[in-house]
Amino acid sequence: MQRYWQANAAIAPSFSVLDLDAPSSVGDPYASLKADFVLAKQLVAADAVAQGATDGGASAVAAAYHATLVPPYCFAAARSFFAAQ
């Protein structure tokens, strides 16, 4: 999506790109969300392993990624972004 807007934006964009899987940098306003997201993925993986998964829970994380894991963090980031505007 970031590449699309960089190539097609008619005016300077007023958005920011958030990659929850990217490491936090100094001053990252989303550092706590990213840390919480890592923990959420670890919990899903651990639960899957406890239920017999042999792939370290990777399939469970992949299956839950967009439907369950990402939405609460994206909504929180969007709220934070618009609150700062």
| Cβ–Cβ < 8 Å for 75, 10 | no
Q: What does the pLDDT read at residue 7? A: 79
Mention every residue, 6+ apart, whose C-beta is less than 8 A from residue 37: 20, 21, 69, 70, 73
Q: Split the chain (85 residues) into runs of 10 and give each run's mean pLDDT.
A: 74 74 92 96 98 98 96 92 79
End-to-end CA distance of the chain: 21
Q: What does the pLDDT read at residue 4? A: 79
